[in-house]
Structure formats: C-alpha cells, structure tokens
Structure 1
C-alpha cells in the first residue's frame, strides 16, 4: 500500500511515462493500491472492469445460485438516529451545508464477492482480496459495483459526474419528485457548485455541461431513478505527468462527503461508527492516454464470516431522519440481470 504522498509521486511517474495502471484510493487518501498492467500474476485476486480496460475477469467464477438469498439486516433505527442527531447539530451550527452519512448493513446471502464482481450490472466494478497484499484497508476483501463515475479524461477534457438523488421508480410521481423536491434540488446545487470549484483547481474553462439528468438503474427489487450532473473543463497539455497531484486535489469525492469538505469530513468522522476504508474512495484505470475512475459506492466487504454492505445518503437541515434511514437501506441492493 502507498501513502498519499507516495501515491502522488508514483502516479505522476507512471503518467509521465505513459504506462497503463489500475489504482484504488481509500476514503482517507492514505491507504492506496497501484497495479501496473505489466504486473502479470502479481495481485491475482485484484480485478477491475471499467470502460477503458479490464483486469482479472474471473471467468472461472462459479455460476450464480439458482435461488439468490440477499437479506439485509439493517442497523437499529435508534443507532442511525444517534448518528443523524450528531450530523444535524453540525448542520445547524453551519459547520456543513450538506453531509453524506453512511451506515454498514450486514447481509445474509449465498452470494460471494466474486459473484458480485462477475455478475453485478454496473459500468465500474472492482474486487480486492482475499490475497492479503491487495485486500482492503483493514485486510478485508471487498467488491464494488458502482454506477457513479468520478472523473473521466479524454484527450485534455476532464469531466466529473456527481450523483445526488435517488427514488423508487415504482412510485408514479418518482421522476417529478426528483425534479421538483426542494431538498433534492439543494443537494444537487451544493455538490455541483463544490465539484465545479474543485475542477477549477486543476482545469480551465470549467462549465456545467448537464444539470440534474435522471437515469434508471435496474435492481432485483425493481427500478430506481438516480439524478446526476456533468461538469467539465480543460486540463493542461502535460496533465499525465501531474496525474497524482490532480487526483488528490479533487479528493475526497464531494458527492460522498459534502460541503465545505474539510469541516464536513470532521463531522462525518465524529458521527459514523465505522471505518469507511475503500468505501467512498475511488478506483480507476489510466491507459497511457486517457483515464476512467469511479466513486466506490455500492460496496460490500467481508467482516469475519459475514458480508457487510455500506451505503448512505446526503443530509441537510431539511432532512427527516426516518426518510434518510429508509433511503440508506433502500440502497442495499445488487443490480443483477436475472
């Protein structure tokens, strides 16, 4: 694993050389993994799938069980309420305007992490472990099947796609609610403003290309709608030689922290009773010319003999505790094509 400073130096060097590599950066930015494409068998249990490239496709993964069992065991409402009360106090003091509060949910399931990597329908997928050299921050194997890109670079254009807002498509008014709800609109506006400012630290001509577009996501429990925005800008010509600096300047990802970032991260650390590890970090691939990366959400990890799903949602002063609790639990799903 590499520290933040080691990661910056290593990514800068690989970018300058035009050497393809995969990477994983933890939420705290201090426990990071880099895999050069030439590594061959090193870290055999690290697998990635992104639009720009794949590594370790697990073609020998066992088939899915005929009858899938996937039963979340949500944390008690009282436990979530305590965390919610803590973050609400920070919001009322003005320490934060928007804060992403996360919880860990044990799941009783007959699925394995390789199943999740191999069969989950998502544009960005990652598997780490059980090899101790590549497993998670706490030595735990984990899998991620993320729908949310972090930054994408094509040529010199950099774009980021913060995702804010989720609704159950089975509800007839779901789309209209996502479009018109004041709390959802304020969350999007806050994060878009934050990410526009973040991109302005590394790019020029930053602009909001698409604001609050809605996409369907299929799950075993039905279709959900998710709201995203697209912000883009122009990188300097020598951006690959500064790749590590650029990525770290944009982290941690605003959509899974909040605004303002520094004070919000302190409030998160005070409220949450779990270590995020690689959850809400990022993972990605640089192919020597362009880059894909994703926010590590829709995330499961081993905890002893159990699997735990980490999920969360944005909290503002307008949030209602019971609604936010239900949203965090509703995000405990696996998008299989069945």
Structure 2
C-alpha cells in the first residue's frame, strides 16, 4: 500500500536527522522524497517567514470557470448530503482553464507567497496556508478557512461575526484539534480566528486562520511518517467527518486533484515545516488549469461560493 511505503520512507529519513524535502499528493498515490542536497533541478521550492507581501506588479490572466449551472448541480448535491447527515462541511473544488502569457518558470519567479513550489513541467504552487510545523518537540497546525474581499466595508468585522463563516471555521478547528490528538498530547487552541491579508492579484483578501498546538515525544524525528500519514489528507481542504467527506468529494468533483491540496515541506534536521498545496496552476497538454474551491456548509450562499471559487484564481506578485 502506497501510504505504508510513504510512512516507512519518511520515518527512515527522519531517523537519519538529515535535511530532506517531501511532497505528498492529496490521495497519497504520488510522492517525492529527496535529501536536500540531492534535490533534482526540475523541483524548485522556497519558504518564507514573511506573509505581508507588497503587490509590485499585477499579473494578468483570463479565467474560464465552470459554468454556473454545473456548479449549481454540484452545490445542490453537497447540500443534499449535508441534509442527510453524511457530512457537515465539504471543501468543494474545481479546475478552471486560464490563459496567461507566462510560463510555469516565469510564474514561479514572479509569484510571492509563504511557500512556492515548481514541480517539473507539471505545476506551480504559491501557497499561503501552513499545514504543520514541528519545533522544539511541539507540533503546530494553522487551519485557514474563511475568505472575504478586503475592500468590503468593515470586512474584518463582517467576516468574524458571520454565522456561516464562524460555523465553518469552528468545524475545521475541531477536526484538526482531533487530528493532532492522534499524534500528540496536551492539544490546545492557542489562537482562534485571526485575520491575515493575502495579496490576490487584482484584489486583496482577508483570510481567517487559527493556531493549534500539541506536544510530541522527543523521538518524533523517527516518526515523521507516522505523524504525516495520520493527518492526511488535510482537514482544511476536505471537511468533516473526514473519511465520508472525501468519498463524497471524489464522486462530485469529477476530476483528479492529484498533488493539488496535498502537502509539501522540509525537515531541516531539527524542525519540520510543511504547507498545503493550494493556489495551484497545473499544465495539462499545454493548457493551464487553476484548481480552487471553498468550504460548503448548510448555511452557504451559492452565489458567494461561486464568486469565492473565482476570487481564489490569481497570481500573487
């Protein structure tokens, strides 16, 4: 089983206390693990501690999103599953054809984000969302759920008091708190629902995150594979309950996420940093597709969700 192979290989690399890069697809069907000093030239990545990037250049792209009627069909199916009690929160995603004059290499060079990754000639990702960090025997995760245009009057106050957004974010925090409890002890929510401003091309978005932590045993380096595979796929890009929600999404989305909404990161010999692979452009037979989506609950407004799907299609510069 591929999950077991990934688990064992990550554990082996962590036991060596030698820096390595890792990348795992959404369904754990694909992965890459390399010692940092042996990383192939066709895999590029950057990590940054700066989340307040200034927009110096607007990168134009044309979007050809899924037809509204097709989106409505999927949205309605999601709502039916929620009414039947099969799930309470589902992160519905689609791929959107885009046109841009830039190559994947050019997009990678120009994009500004906490995490950037270019994988061969297949895709480029510029993610604002951390998955887990492990530092000084503590594990942290930062679920990101809730988005609003920063230009909306009183945007921060509006999204923080929105009932639907509160419910959606609370469910993800509860899911990830439970996930961390599988691999760590003394799990707590350190910070609940704080705002980050995200450069989104022609717009600025406010996105809501929380910070959750737990304590690990000192030999966690030997168990990196157990930790990561126990937490995947990420709760923020699936929903709750996770297992049933993943099954529903597989049926409704009708396309393969592949590395989109998987994770990537590095272990530097003492600490581990990882990110969710969102804000994602994939090249398929010389056509570019941007994969994006958002969380759906019983209180979701279809028009706002359809708009959010498109708002998340941008190249931050």
> TM tier, shorter chain?
over 0.9
1:49 partnered with 2:46: yes
Residue 232 of structure 1, CA deviation? 0.4
Matches within 5 A, 1:1-338: 3-39=2-38, 43-51=40-48, 68-130=59-121, 141-336=122-317
Residue 67 of structure 1, CA deviation? 8.3
Tell me, yes or no, if the aligned pair for 1:252 and 1:281 is still in contact at 8 Å: yes
RMSD: 1.4
CA distance in 1 between partners of 2:59 and 2:262 (Å) = 28
CA distance in 2 between partners of 1:24 and 1:199 (Å) = 20
CA distance in 2 between partners of 1:170 and 1:307 (Å) = 29
CA distance in 1 between partners of 2:304 and 2:148 (Å) = 11
Residue 118 of structure 1, CA deviation? 1.7
Tell me, yes or no, if the aligned pair for 2:24 and 2:30 is still in contact at 8 Å: yes
Structure 2: gaps of 5 or more residues = 50-56
TM-score of the superposition, structure 2-length normalised? 0.95
- Give 1:57's aligned residue: none
| SS of equivalent to 2:298 | coil
| SS of equivalent to 1:121 | coil
Structure 1: gaps of 5 or more residues = 53-65, 131-140
| SS of equivalent to 1:89 | helix
Tell me, yes or no, if the aligned pair for 1:68 and 1:111 is still in contact at 8 Å: no
Tell me, yes or no, if the aligned pair for 1:97 and 1:259 is still in contact at 8 Å: yes
CA distance in 1 between partners of 2:247 and 2:22 (Å) = 26
TM-score of the superposition, structure 1-length normalised? 0.89
CA distance in 1 between partners of 2:301 and 2:225 (Å) = 39
| SS of equivalent to 1:277 | coil
